[in-house]
């Protein structure tokens, strides 16, 4: 049975150990995110999901009660996937410009690594749901807000640390960077496979323009030079001892 195999592979996106019921739910939601990521939330029906997972529709209804509850749970699951792929790993690095670069870099690489099986989350979802009332729309908007907040916070920290100038407002820079990422993704979807390499170069050039002299311009020359610069900073930082 397909679901049994899926169950063995099921991992809670938060990394917690799950009961059998919890694992079943995670496996269902992983499949639901897969369908929606490729074809949109509208393509996600309890009937379709039941067929793909070889489960009974009544079994699925027991988990989700309605199409709206299923959609909500699917969006929440997709948010956790995004958090694990982009938001959390970016917190590991240094604050400020380093984190801002990590957020942009991880955003591009979550697409290159096909973390989602298609392009729908969250840009497609936002533009499909933004003008509708309801919990699903609210949850999708919150996902974009959380992403923009993470970018804005990194800019603010960079300004506080005097790595970034204060001539532009943090939320405007966040919105601009988000736009550049989505613009690169549009080009990528239209078969311009070099758009991400170019996007990284353009983002580094933009960060160099925004940066103060606290960060040497040479750090922005390539992905490699940025990494070397960040490692050197970590090495040279005062140790707690």
Q: Which two tokens stand for residue 31?
A: 């499949």
- Provide the minimum distance between the beta carbon of 71 and its own copies in the complex, in angstroms, as a whole number: 12
Q: Contact, 94 vs 230, CB < 8 A? A: yes
> Between residues 54 and 68, which has the closer beta carbon with respect to its own copies?
68
Checking 63-72 for CB contacts under 8 A at 24+ apart, the result is 63/24, 63/25, 63/28, 68/134, 68/135, 68/136, 70/32, 70/44, 70/46, 71/41, 71/44, 71/136, 72/135, 72/136, 72/139
Helix axes 2-9, 46-53, angle to 10 degrees: 90
Residue 226 · residue 220 · CB < 8 Å: yes
- Footprint of its own copies (CB under 8 A): 38-40, 42-43, 118-120, 123-128, 130-132, 141, 144-145, 148, 171-172, 175-184, 186-187, 189-190, 192, 195, 198, 202
Give the nearest distance from C-beta 51 to its own copies in angstroms. 18
Taking the least distance from each CB to its own copies, the nearer of 10 and 181 is 181
Cβ-based nearer residue to its own copies, 10 or 136? 136
Q: How far is the CB of 89 from its own copies (least distance, A)?
A: 23
CB of 111 to its own copies, least distance (A): 11
Which residue, 22 or 134, is less far from its own copies as judged by CB? 134
Q: CB of 63 within 8 A of CB of 25?
A: yes
- Whole-angstrom Cα distance, residue 123 to residue 182? 8
To the nearest 10 degrees (0 to 180), the angle between helices 97-112 and 170-189 is: 20
Shortest separation between residue 181's beta carbon and its own copies, angstroms: 7
CB nearer its own copies, residue 55 or residue 140: 140
Closer CB to its own copies, 186 or 214, in the complex: 186
Taking Cα atoms as reference points, which of 44, 55, 48, 47 lies closest to residue 4? 55
Closest approach, Cβ 156 to its own copies, in A, equals: 17
Min separation Cβ 135 and its own copies, Å = 16
Give Cα separations from 232 to 91, 129, 228, 238 (angstroms): 18, 45, 6, 12
Smaller CB separation from its own copies, 38 or 65: 38
Q: Which residues does residue 211 pair with via DSSP β-bridges, in sequence order?
A: 164
């Amino acid at each position: 049975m397909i679901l049994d195999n899926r169950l063995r592979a099921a991992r809670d996106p938060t990394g917690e150990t799950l009961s059998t019921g919890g694992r079943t739910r995670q496996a269902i939601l992983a499949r639901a995110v897969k369908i929606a990521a490729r074809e949109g939330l509208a393509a996600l029906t309890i009937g379709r999901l039941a067929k793909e997972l070889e489960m009974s529709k009544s079994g699925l209804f027991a988990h989700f009660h309605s199409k709206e509850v299923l959609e909500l749970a699917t969006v929440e699951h997709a948010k956790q996937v995004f958090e694990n792929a982009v938001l959390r790993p970016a917190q590991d690095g240094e604050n400020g410009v380093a984190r801002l670069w990590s957020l942009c870099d991880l955003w591009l690489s979550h697409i290159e690594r096909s973390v989602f099986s298609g392009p729908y989350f969250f840009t497609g979802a936002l533009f499909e749901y933004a003008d509708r009332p309801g919990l699903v729309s609210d949850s999708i908007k919150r996902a974009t807000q959380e992403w923009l907040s993470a970018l804005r916070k990194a800019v603010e920290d960079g300004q506080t640390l005097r790595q970034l100038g204060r001539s532009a407002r943090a939320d405007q820079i966040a919105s601009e960077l988000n736009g550049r990422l989505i613009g690169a993704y549009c080009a990528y979807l239209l078969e311009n496979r070099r758009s991400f390499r170019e996007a990284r170069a353009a983002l580094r050039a933009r960060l160099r323009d925004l940066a103060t002299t606290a960060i040497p311009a040479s750090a922005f020359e390539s992905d490699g030079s940025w990494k070397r610069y960040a490692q050197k900073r970590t090495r040279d930082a005062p140790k707690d001892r």
